[in-house]
Amino acid sequence: KQEVTQIPAALSVPEGENLVLNCSFTDSAIYNLQWFRQDPGKGLTSLLLIQSSQREQTSGRLNASLDKSSGRSTLYIAASQPGDSATYLCAVRDAGNMLTFGGGTRLMVKP
């Protein structure tokens, strides 16, 4: 059974810092990995999607990497802003198109 863990569970940083969020998964037989952002009480917004054959994806200040063999992904946020405050979730997709989520990292960026 796939298990996904996100570390840290919560993070508070001053504005402008670069930061790294970590995601690990136990079964490397994944189809792809997706990072999401969730604002309080809202749905999930897709940030980045990495196929199992890819190593990284970039979008603006966000960069996500994937090391499938070691079961790890990181989300790098450059020059953090208060508007980045949210919960960040990673999810791995299996061949059956089912997503398994981590518990999320709650990020607070202080002005």
**Site for another protein, rule CB under 8 A:** 4, 6, 31-32, 34, 36, 41-46, 49, 51, 89, 91, 93, 96-104
Give the nearest distance from C-beta 109 to another protein in angstroms: 20
Give the nearest distance from C-beta 38 to another protein in angstroms: 9
CB of 19 or CB of 49, closer to another protein: 49
- The string over 19-52, giving b where at least 16 C-beta atoms fall within 10 Å of a residue's C-beta and e elsewhere, is bebebbbeeeebebbbbbbeeeeeebeebbbbee
CA–CA separation, 48 and 63 (whole Å): 8
CB of 35 or CB of 77, closer to another protein: 35
